[in-house]
Amino acid sequence: MVPYKLERSKRVRRMYLQFDSPEFVTLKLPMRHSEKGGMRFIQEHADWICETLDSQPRVQSLQQYLVKHPRLAIAGRWHKLELRFQQGAYGYVVDEEERKISIALKPGLPPEQQLKDLLRSVAREHLGSRIRGFEGSVGVKAHGVTIRDQKSRWGSCSETGGISLNWRLLLISPKLQDHVLLHELAHIRHFDHSRDFHAFLMVLDPNSKAHAKRLHEEAKKVFVLGRA
Ligand SMILES: [Zn+2]
């Protein structure tokens, strides 16, 4: 069954579909057009409508996402996330032995912005040290690591070797996160996407191709978070 909403309008001459929500399609009908005819139109294109709905960007709250997926990728491993609201407390504590991160938010303030600020701090500290940990084996040195709120990229590398990373890298699996870090570090050696670059990246991450593909899928889920 295709989720749809019916709207009749005097200004509509022919029936058509409109996508402005990931939840349902809107069927626009001329005043006198029968609902049955509209239903048939929807049924005939059901597969295509469902695919189109699936590809619509969903804005989701970061808090909701973290309650559903309570974990962050830190130091190459998943860490269980504990979220709490606590009087007077604001910040995070990482316990690497227990593979745990506790985040305390202030009650009374919108959690969304607090969470985003804190995750950016976690990223600054931990993605930064992950990069430094890789420098030796890659054989390059990054000229600083900046954490950013990019809309559609996981990271980038400047000609001077400065690396920018998306804080949302904390939300994807440690292996995929490492892949992005290695990709950006590899750019310090090869500042392009040439054959040589990919060959070099393949040495650093033998699953490079599969990881790049999965990143593309993850991007759809993760890039919509923290935009409210
Ligand atoms: Zn690249």
**SS3 annotation, 49-63:** HHHHHHCCCCCECHH
pLDDT higher than 80, residue 11: yes
Inter-residue contact 117 to 69 (CB < 8 Å): no
Which tops the pLDDT comparison, 17 or 167? Answer: 167
Average pLDDT over residues 91-114: 92
Distance 142 CA to ligand 1 centre (A): 15
Q: CA–CA separation, 167 vs 121, rounded Å?
A: 9
Distance 198 CA to ligand 1 centre (A): 9
- List the one residue out of 126, 128, 195, 184 whose CA is nearest residue 158: 184
Q: How confident is the model at residue 58 (pLDDT cuts 50, 70, 90)?
A: low
| Length of the chain in terms of residues written | 228
Q: CA–CA separation, 21 vs 19, rounded Å?
A: 6
Q: What pLDDT is attached to residue 59?
A: 63
Distance 58 CA to ligand 1 centre (A): 26
Distance 141 CA to ligand 1 centre (A): 17
3 three-class SS: coil
Among the ranges 9-18, 205-214, 218-227, which has the highest mean pLDDT value?
A: 205-214
Distance 137 CA to ligand 1 centre (A): 19
Distance 118 CA to ligand 1 centre (A): 27
- List the one residue out of 9, 7, 6 whose CA is nearest residue 31: 9
Distance 156 CA to ligand 1 centre (A): 7
What are the residue boundaries of the structural domains of the chain, listed by start? 4-54, 62-222
3.60.15.10, 1.20.1250.20, 3.30.2010.10, 3.40.50.1820: CATH of 62-222? 3.30.2010.10
